């Protein structure tokens, strides 16, 4: 099925208008990466150097999403302040270009979004929909709502469904773990050894969470950016990365964890807070939680 965005069947629903707007904008974001690969000489609120494309994609999404009826707030990993809108209802949190350090080497990146029905910062339990766009050889979107995940291919103003009711394959195949190995805890290192020693598992790590998570969604397995000795909350941001990804993976029948509980159960304190993120097949996440207990 091909959907022209905005989908006329759903254009009264602000959630679907947000998703359609992100789908259309993503095609432009991809085209606009050319010529925007240099550092922007400024840092995001987490202290990471931004590239020009980070700043540009954030401004493009901010303009478009804040003008949608029913959007109450826009927050982004690339700006310190939340934009408040006149409307009430939905609060949108985005990572406009996840993995933008891959731009220099021309590797995979993504755009992540979460749509909450509570003011930000909000817990993952307040998500009504979430998803991500992957800028791979093909631009694709994985979108979760009402407990199901749909995968699309994006071209121009159209979304073509490639798979409905996406679920994680039962037999996990891939694993990818971020952070410097010397900074992992002994318990996490031990767990990784166990995963690696299974001859059915193979390593996939590309340095952009969306690329690595989409491998897990496609082949089954586990992705983690764990707590590190020098960064006990890991690297990834709860509102913009952790919650949306946890929502997609849990909707696809997998599990998420910060080491002890579902990512979606965490009560956030600040918008840019970080979270140790582990997502994947349920049995692998359960084993992880036992290993870290």
Binding site for ligand F6P (CB under 6 A): 98-99, 101, 178-179, 207-209, 225, 235-236
CB of 112 to ligand F6P, least distance (A): 9
185 labelled ligand-binding: no
CB of 78 to ligand F6P, least distance (A): 11
Answer yes or no: are the C-beta atoms of 259 and 188 closer than 8 Å. Answer: no
How many Å is the Cα radius of gyration of the chain? 18
Nearer Cβ to ligand F6P (205/219)? 205
In the three-class reduction of DSSP (H, G, I as helix; E, B as strand; rest coil), residue 22 is classed as: helix
CB atoms within 10 A of CB 69: 11
Please give the Cα distance from 183 to 187 (Å, whole number).
12
Nearer Cβ to ligand F6P (161/270)? 270
Comparing every residue's Cβ against ligand F6P, the nearest one is: 209
Structure tokens at 37: 């690969």
Nearer Cβ to ligand F6P (152/225)? 225
CB of 133 to ligand F6P, least distance (A): 13
Nearer Cβ to ligand F6P (17/112)? 112
CB of 90 to ligand F6P, least distance (A): 23
CB atoms within 10 A of CB 66: 17
Q: Which residues contact 231 (CB under 8 A, 6 or more apart)?
A: 179, 183, 274
98 labelled ligand-binding: yes
Nearer Cβ to ligand F6P (122/213)? 213
Nearest CA-CA partner of 276 in 150, 191, 171 = 191
List 4's β-bridge partners, or say none: 158
235 labelled ligand-binding: yes
135 labelled ligand-binding: no
99 labelled ligand-binding: yes
- Cis peptide bond prior to 121, omega within 30° of 0: yes
205 labelled ligand-binding: yes
Residues annotated as binding site for substrate? 98-101, 205, 235
Residues annotated as binding site for Mg(2+)? 77, 95, 97-98, 241
């Amino acid at each position: 099925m091909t959907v022209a965005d905005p989908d006329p069947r759903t254009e009264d629903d602000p959630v679907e208008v947000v998703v359609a707007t992100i789908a259309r904008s993503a095609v432009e974001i991809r085209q606009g990466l050319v010529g925007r690969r240099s550092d922007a000489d400024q840092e995001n609120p987490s202290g990471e150097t931004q590239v020009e494309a980070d700043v540009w994609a954030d401004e493009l999404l901010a303009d478009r999403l804040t003008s949608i009826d029913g959007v109450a707030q826009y927050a982004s990993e690339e700006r310190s302040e939340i934009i408040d809108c006149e409307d009430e209802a939905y609060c949108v949190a985005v990572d406009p270009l996840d993995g933008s350090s891959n731009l220099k080497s021309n590797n995979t990146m993504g755009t992540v979004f979460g749509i909450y029905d509570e003011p930000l910062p909000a817990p993952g339990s307040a998500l009504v929909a979430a998803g991500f766009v992957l800028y791979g050889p093909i631009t694709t979107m994985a979108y979760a709502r009402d407990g199901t995940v749909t995968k699309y291919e994006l071209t121009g103003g159209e979304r073509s469904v490639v798979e409905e009711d996406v679920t994680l394959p039962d037999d996990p195949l891939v694993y990818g773990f971020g952070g410097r190995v010397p900074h992992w805890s002994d318990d996490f290192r031990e767990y990784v050894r166990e995963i690696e020693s299974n001859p059915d598992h193979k390593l996939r790590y590309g340095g952009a969470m969306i690329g690595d998570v989409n491998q897990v969604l496609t082949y089954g397995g586990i992705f983690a950016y764990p707590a590190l000795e020098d960064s006990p909350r890991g690297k990834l941001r709860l509102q913009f990365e952790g919650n949306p990804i946890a929502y997609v993976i849990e909707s696809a029948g997998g599990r998420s964890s910060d080491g002890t509980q579902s990512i979606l159960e965490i009560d956030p304190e600040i918008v840019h807070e970080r979270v140790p993120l582990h997502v994947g097949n349920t049995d692998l996440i359960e084993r992880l939680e036992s290993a870290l207990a």
